[in-house]
Amino acid sequence: MFPLKQDYRFSGRLLYRTYFVLVICIIAIGSILDYMGRDADDTALLDTFKAHFLPVFSLVGQQLSETDNKQWPEQIDQLSETTGLDLQLYDVADFATDETTLAQLYANEVLALFDSQDQLTLYRRIAQSQQVLGIPVAEWANSLNYNNWIVPAFYILIAVVVFVLIQPFSRQLLKLKSAAANFGRGEFNTRINLPTGSTLEPIVDGFNSMADRIEQLVSSQRELTNSVSHELRTPLARLRFAFEDIQAKAADASVVQQLDEMREDVSELEILVDEMLSYAEINQIKSIRKKPVPLMSFMDDLVADLHSAETVIELNYDNSINRNTVIACNRHHLHRAVANVVRNAMRFANRRCEINVSRLQENFVFDINDDGPGLDREHLERIFEPFYKGKSSKGGFGLGLSIAQGIAQKHGGSLTAIEHPSSGGHFRFLIPA
C-alpha cells in the first residue's frame, strides 16, 4: 500500500500550482492589456479633432466679435441650429482653478477636456473677450473603437493559456482512459507511464498498483486452476481403472449398475477438468496464431461433428460466401468456440438449431439461433461469466460460453447474446475477415 495521505498532499500541491499559474497568467494578461489601453497615444487623435474644429472656432468667433457680447447667447443658439453643433458659452472664470488651462485659453489655443463620463469637449476663448466657446465632440466615443480589441484579446489569450495548461492534463487523462479500457478487456499487463511531477501521478500510481495486484491474483488463480485440473486427471484415471476391475469381478447386477452411475459421475468430472484447462489455456494465450481456413469446409466439418438425432442443425450462407472464401483464424480454437455456442443452443432447442454465416463489412458473422425458450434479459449480461448458469440451465458447467468469448476476443472479434424479438436464443459470433 502506498501512503495515501502523502499522495493526497502531493496531488493537492500540484493542483494548487496549476491553479496559481492560471491566476497569475490571467492577472498578467489583464494588466498588460489594461496598460496598453490606458497608455495608448491619444495625442494624434486629439490633434485631429482640434484641427477639424479650428475653422468652426474661427468662424463663430469672428461672427460674435462683430456684435455686442450681450447678443452672444442669442447668436450662439442660432449658430447651433445652423451648424448642427451644440455650441455653448462659458466664462473664463469657470476655468480659474487650473493655471495651465487659463494660460492655454489666453494663448488662444484649442483646449480638449473630458467630463466625468469621458465625453470630450473642445474649448477656445473668443477673441480677446472673457467668454469661452465650447463644442462637445460626439464623434469622440465612436473614435475609441480602436480599443475594442482589448476585451476580445483578453479572452483569446486566456483561452490560449488555459489550452496550453490543460493540454498535457488532457493527454494524460486519455492515456488513463485507454489503459483502463485495455485493462477491462483482460490485458492485465497494462501499465501507465507519465512524466514525473504530473498532476495525475498519484492516480496513475494507484492504477498501476491495482493492476499489479490484480495481475498477480489472476495469475495465481490461473495457476491454481491449471494445477488442480492437472492433478485431478490422475485420480480420475485411477478411478476408471478401478471401476473396470471391479465390474469385471462383480456378478451382482445392482453393483454393476452402481458402477455405471459412478462411471458417469467420473466422466462429468473429466469434462469439467477439460473445460477448466481450456479456460485457463485461453486466458493464458497472449496472441493467437492464425492461418487461412476455407470457411465453408470449416463449417461443414463443424456441423458434421455436432450431428445429433435429437436436434436438426440448419446451416445457411449469404451470397457473399462461396467455396473460395477463407477466414484467417486458428482452426482448432475457432472450432471449439463455435461448437461450444452451438452445443449450448442445441441443449436448449426444442427441435432445430440454425447457423447463419454472412459477411458484414470487414467481419464474418456467425448468427446461431435455436427454437427454445430464449434468454431472459437478466441473464444476457452475465451469461458469459465463468461458472454462471441461469435458472433454466440444462447441464453444463457454465464455462463453454466463457471459453468461446475468450477465443473470439483473442481473434479480435466478439461473442454476444442478443435479445431476439422471436422465441429462442440468439448468439452472434463476429470474427474479423
Written as nine digits, the cell of 334 is 475457432
Question: Which one, of 250, 38, 302, lies nearest residue 144 by Cα?
Answer: 38
Confidence of residue 294 (pLDDT cuts 50, 70, 90): very high
Radius of gyration of the chain (CA): 46
User: In the numeric block, which cell numbers belong to residue 261?
Assistant: 452411475
| pLDDT score, position 194 | 78
Alpha helices in 360-421 (DSSP H): 377-380, 400-410
Q: Would you tell me how many other CB atoms lie within 10 Å of the CB of residue 120?
A: 21
Q: What is the DSSP string of 220-238?
A: HHHHHHHHHHHHHHHHHHH
The predicted model gives 151-178 an average pLDDT of: 80
CA distance 321 to 148: 68
Where is average pLDDT lowest: 128-137, 172-181, 275-284, 358-367? Answer: 275-284
41 burial via Cβ count (<10 Å: 0-12, 13-18, 19+): exposed
pLDDT confidence of residue 1: 42
**pLDDT tens-place string over residues 63-83:** 888 888 788 888 888 888 888
What pTM value is reported for the model? 0.48
With b for 16 or more beta-carbon neighbours within 10 A and e for fewer, the 314-350 pattern comes to eeebeeebeeebebebbeebbbbbbbbbbbbbbbbbe
Strand partners, 67: none
Long-range pairs for 170-178: beta carbons < 8 A, 24 or more residues apart: 172/198, 172/199, 172/200, 172/204, 173/200, 176/200, 176/203, 176/204, 176/207
In this structure, are residues 18 and 199 in contact, taking their beta carbons and an 8 Å threshold?
yes
Determine the average pLDDT of the residues in 23-44.
Answer: 71
In the three-class reduction of DSSP (H, G, I as helix; E, B as strand; rest coil), residue 202 is classed as helix
At position 35, the amino acid (one-letter code) is Y
Q: How confident is the model at residue 4 (pLDDT cuts 50, 70, 90)?
A: very low
HEC per residue, 290-317 = CEEEEHHHHHHHHHHHCCCCCCEEEEEE
Amino acid at 27: I
201-284 topology per CATH = Helix Hairpins (1.10.287)
Q: Which residues of 123-154 are buried (b: 16+ CB within 10 A; e: fewer)?
A: bbbbeeeebbbbbebeebeeeeeeeeeeeeeb
Residue 98 pLDDT > 70 = yes
The superfamily in CATH containing domain 291-432 is: Histidine kinase-like ATPase, C-terminal domain (3.30.565.10)
Q: What's the length of the chain?
A: 433
Segment 295-309 shows an average pLDDT of 87
**Residue that wins the pLDDT comparison between 392 and 133:** 133
Bridge pairing between strands 312-317 and 363-370: unpaired
Q: Which residues, 6 or more positions from 428, have their beta carbon under 8 angstroms from its beta carbon?
A: 365, 366, 367, 368, 414, 415, 416, 418
**Residue type (1 letter), 295:** L
Q: Residue 122: enclosing H or E segment and its boundaries?
A: strand 120-125
3-class state of residue 396 by DSSP: coil
Q: What is the pLDDT of residue 78?
A: 84
DSSP characters over 37-93: HHTS--HHHHHHHHHHHHHHHHHHHHHHHTS-GGGHHHHHHHHHHHH----EEEEGG
The CA-atom distances, in angstroms, between 391 and each of 26, 67, 121 are 63, 115, 92
Q: Is 64 exposed, middle or buried (0-12, 13-18, 19+ CB in 10 A)?
A: buried
- pLDDT category at 139 given cuts 50, 70, 90 is low
Percent of the chain at pLDDT exceeding 70: 77
Average pLDDT, the chain: 78
pLDDT bin (cut points 50, 70, 90) of residue 393 is low
The secondary structure element, H or E, covering residue 172 is: helix 150-184
From residue 202, give the alpha-carbon distance in Å to each of 4, 11, 208, 339: 9, 6, 10, 46
CA atoms within 13 A on the CB side of 271: 12
Q: Are 87 and 134 in contact (CB under 8 A)?
A: yes
Q: What is the model's pLDDT at position 3?
A: 45
Closest CA to 403 of 391, 411, 395: 411
Structural domain boundaries of the chain?
43-137, 201-284, 291-432
